[in-house]
Amino acid sequence: MDFARLTAKLPYSGWNQQQQSAWRDGLKTMSRSALAIFSWGAVTGLAMGKSALTTEQALGMTLFVFAGSAQLAALPLIGAGFSVFTILITAFIVNLRFVIFSIGVQAHFSHLPAWRRAILGYFTADFGYLMYTSRFPEVQAVSERKNDSYYRTYFMYGLATGNWGIWQVGSILGILGASQIPDDWGMEFAGTLALIAVIVPMLDHRAARWAAIVAAIVAILTYSLPLKLNLTVAILAAIIVGILADRSPKAMR
Amino acid sequence: MRPDSLGSFEIALLIGGMALVTLLTRAFFVFLGARVQVPELVLRAIRYAPLAAIVGIVAPELILPPGAAEISQMDWKSPNLWGGLAGFLAYFWTRQMLPTLILGMTVFSLVRYWL
């Protein structure tokens, strides 16, 4: 097999030096949270493996749907025999936070053709958007984007590659290992713990700490809402805090 | 298989549909098109949305006992609460993932079996 000819077909080899290093930068940035993504993927995979789905169906779901919280929300509904339409509506509402993220995807990558932006959006889950915006909070002027060979775009491709890849490894191992792991080990708690290590470093300034505290309190108080709507309410509350933090720079920063 | 559960065709349809839902939500404003100009203020306002999303996923799992549906079921003997606190402190001191997982899971398991 001619490896060089094979890899020449990959988009990566058609990118210039700067774009390739941007992609690797993104991949490296994402892999710093590999254990957290892996544990959440594994927990989601375990839940799918223990559900009414067959192994093939669970693998298909993880590979194509790529939305952990929506998958977890769908499982009990599938088990209870709800209609496909009802489960799809549920998935949409559980995914509402991504609609908010898509505002950012649209603005940051407006130079890309719409279909590429849509694909990039599909691969932009919680971790990808979190890491992109913590590295590049401000939208780059369109005129400046070309000057650095669209570094940020290729950085985002790297984030997406890492996020998807690590998530799928965890999730597939979880699905395949589900029959081996007893229910009462409390393994799902490991996924929650791993996220602490993602959150704490982000609380490095006052406005972020306020947003996080408000999001935590609101998400807990509204936990009884159906369809994980507490997440959307918590995000909206954090957005309001963010605006207030912006308005009173001295008091909140 | 129960008569009211989904057949394999319906599951396939569901998986395809959920993949489309992922695309639709994550590219929602892309599909609205370039005519919708996103004001700078909105972009600044949603700066903490991703952080809030992850905090919103984690916080109830840490504070509420497993299987609880609402805040009134909060319990001081909850293994999540103490395991989460241990994990938080472990990360605060070491800034590393592995001690966070090990200490958190140890305290979680201890509380679960002995409290």
How confident is the model over A134-179, as pLDDT tens digits? 899 888 988 899 988 899 999 999 999 999 999 999 999 999 998 8
The reported pTM is: 0.82
B75: pLDDT strictly greater than 90: no
Mean pLDDT of A84-92: 89
pLDDT at residue B46, rounded to an integer: 83
B95: pLDDT strictly greater than 90: no
Query: In this prediction, what percent of chain A has a pLDDT beyond 70?
Result: 93
Q: A208 Cβ partners below 8 Å, 6+ apart? A: A202, B48, B51
Rounded CA-CA distance A54/A21 in Å is 40
Read off the pLDDT band of A249 (50, 70, 90): low
Nearest CA distance, A40 vs chain B (angstrom): 11
pLDDT digits (tens, 9 = 90+) for B10-63: 999 999 999 999 999 999 999 987 677 778 778 878 888 888 988 998 898 888
B83: pLDDT strictly greater than 90: yes
- Expressed in percent and rounded to 5, the helix, strand and coil fractions of chain B are 75, 0, 25
Give the best-scoring range by mean pLDDT among A86-95, A166-175, A182-191. Answer: A166-175
Read off the pLDDT band of A180 (50, 70, 90): confident
Nearest CA distance, B36 vs chain A (angstrom): 9
Q: A21 Cβ partners below 8 Å, 6+ apart? A: none
A14: pLDDT strictly greater than 70: yes
Average pLDDT value for chain B: 86
Rounded CA-CA distance B47/B32 in Å is 21
Helices assigned H by DSSP within chain A? 3-7, 17-31, 34-49, 55-65, 68-79, 84-94, 96-108, 114-122, 126-135, 142-145, 151-177, 188-199, 206-221, 229-247, 249-252
pLDDT at residue A84, rounded to an integer: 92
Chain A residue whose CA is closest to B39: A107
Read off the pLDDT band of B3 (50, 70, 90): very low
pLDDT at residue B74, rounded to an integer: 77
Two tokens, residue A203: 């609380």
Q: What is the DSSP letter of A147?
A: G
| Among A96, A134, A200, beta carbon nearest to B25 | A96
A62: pLDDT strictly greater than 80: yes
Cβ contact, residue pair B18, A216, below 8 Å: no
Tell me the Ramachandran region of residue B67: left when phi exceeds 0, alpha when psi lies from -120 to 50, beta otherwise: left
* Window 14-53 of B, Cβ < 8 Å to A: 14-19, 21-34, 36, 38, 40, 42-53
